[in-house]
Amino acid sequence: MGFGVVHLLDAVFRRMFRSAGLRPGSATVNAEDDTGAAPPHGGLRPPPRQRYFADKREEKMALIRGIATGEGFELAPLPQEVLIIWGEFDQIFPVDKAHKVKEKLGEKATVKVIPNAGHLPQQEDSKLFNRVLLDFLLRPSSTAA
């Protein structure tokens, strides 16, 4: 019994989320998830959330650094319409990044900000996210001849 390593790791992970301004539940993985190999020697498996973020950690950190600093972030204007959906309170990629991406993609890019959402607007307000996406996908294209 006792506190346990798994509970301690989960508590640490939740604290890291809060310190980044994220809601702890905003990046959960199904608790029933049993994918991935069992740890060697019958040790405890980390919670699904930790397993999810542990994979390819260096690549994920490089992506975050590149987008955050603009390093290697090259986009050319696109000829087709583009929808950029962003969470108003995204603490990983602040909403000003959405507008910078729009500038690089050109005049056919549109930014839609989901109010009161963070980094996962598709989960945090799925109804509004889906409505914005469907409105974009179902509207007549301005490039149609």
Residues forming beta bridges with residue 112, ordered by sequence position = 85
Distance between CA atoms of residues 101 and 73, nearest Å? 9
pTM exceeding the 0.75 threshold for the entire prediction: no
| Amino acid at residue number 73 | F
Cα separations in angstroms, 86 against 45, 58, 96, 121, 135:
33, 24, 10, 7, 16
Residue 48 lies in a domain: no
**What are the backbone angles phi and psi of residue 61, rounded to the nearest 5°?**
-65, -40
Residue 60 lies in a domain: no
Residue 129 has a pLDDT of 96
Residue 80 lies in a domain: yes
Distance between CA atoms of residues 34 and 9, nearest Å? 18
Residue 31 has a pLDDT of 46
Q: Which residue has the tokens 């001849």?
A: 145
Note down pLDDT in tens along the chain; length 145 residues: 445 555 666 666 666 666 666 665 555 444 444 444 545 445 555 555 556 556 677 777 776 666 655 556 677 888 999 999 999 999 888 899 899 889 988 999 999 999 999 999 999 999 999 999 999 999 987 655 4
Range of the domain at 106: 75-138
| Amino acid at residue number 15 | R
Count of other CB atoms within 10 angstroms of residue 81: 15
Residue 83 lies in a domain: yes
Residue 91 has a pLDDT of 87
* Number of domain units in the chain: 1
**Reduced DSSP (H G I as helix, E B as strand, rest coil) percent helix, strand, coil of the chain, to 5:** 50, 10, 45
Residue 33 has a pLDDT of 47
Residue 120 lies in a domain: yes
